């Protein structure tokens, strides 16, 4: 027994075709630039007629894109693209305003410093996942890796939040030199003079670093 009914109108008039639940009804309209395919099938599990509309290649021309697939008697889902774009923008904003590195675990000077480090660590972990997800989608944005943290007080080195009493900050030295040392320490760089981690030279400068500064 026929379940589907289709018509085709062309230069030679109109033609009709019938389709059963088992055969479905498959139609194709072609041009030199590609083709449009409309398929009607019966889904036994859902007990519904399912329509699939797509663009396809014809003689090497065109694209392969599915435009719609779903029940014939129901409204298609609303366009989700605006929501996806808004979510991506939100993730980019969060990633750019979160730490670039994990403050890690350690012995902090006081409870406030420990809580600050914990909060930054939570921000970093969330931002890390967002950055991975965005890059899998091929999305890159300036500043998406976030900002550098001071390994001494877990505060931003770029936003003016840095604690003036941080143990890594030598108040007797020039402030610009201190900030440069701290940025290197936050990025995990090593000292060219002694080979130690920059964070160690920031706490206890090696002889080569002291000699460079005195000669500057």
30-78 confidence digits (pLDDT tens) = 999 999 999 999 999 999 999 999 999 999 888 898 888 899 988 877 7
Specify whether 64 is located in the same domain as 85.
no
Q: Answer yes or no: pTM beyond 0.85.
A: no
Residue 47 domain-assigned (yes or no): yes
For residue 211, give the 3-state DSSP assignment: helix
Interval 79-97 mean pLDDT: 79
β-bridge partners, 135: none
Residue 99 domain-assigned (yes or no): yes
Specify whether 54 is located in the same domain as 91.
no
Q: Give the domain extent around 39.
A: 4-71
For residue 179, give the 3-state DSSP assignment: helix
Residue 148 domain-assigned (yes or no): yes
Specify whether 181 is located in the same domain as 107.
yes
Residue 76 domain-assigned (yes or no): no
Alpha carbon distance 84, 59 (integer Å): 35
Specify whether 64 is located in the same domain as 124.
no
How many domains are there within the chain?
2
CA angle, 116 as apex, 172 and 186 as ends, to 5°?
Answer: 55
Alpha carbon distance 15, 7 (integer Å): 6
- Quickly tell me which residue has 């964070």 as its tokens: 199
Higher pLDDT, 206 or 32: 32
């Amino acid at each position: 027994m026929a379940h589907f009914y289709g018509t085709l109108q062309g230069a030679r008039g109109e033609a009709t075709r019938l389709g059963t639940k088992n055969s479905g009804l498959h139609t194709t309209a072609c041009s030199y630039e590609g083709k449009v395919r409309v398929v009607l099938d019966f889904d036994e599990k859902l007990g519904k007629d399912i329509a699939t509309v797509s663009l396809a290649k014809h003689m090497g021309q065109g694209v392969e894109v599915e435009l719609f697939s779903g029940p014939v008697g129901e409204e298609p889902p609303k366009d989700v693209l605006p929501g996806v774009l808004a979510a991506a923008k939100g993730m980019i904003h969060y990633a750019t305003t979160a730490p670039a590195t994990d403050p890690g675990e350690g012995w902090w000077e006081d409870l406030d410093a420990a809580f600050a480090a914990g909060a930054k660590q939570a921000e970093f972990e969330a931002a890390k996942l967002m950055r991975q997800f965005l890059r899998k989608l091929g999305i890159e944005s300036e500043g998406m890796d976030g900002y550098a943290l001071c390994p001494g007080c877990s505060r931003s080195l770029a936003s003016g939040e840095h604690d003036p009493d941080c143990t890594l900050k030598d108040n007797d030295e020039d402030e610009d030199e201190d900030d440069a040392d701290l940025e290197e320490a936050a990025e995990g760089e090593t000292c060219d003079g002694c080979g130690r981690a920059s964070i160690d030279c920031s706490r206890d400068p090696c002889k080569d670093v002291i000699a460079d500064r005195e000669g500057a």
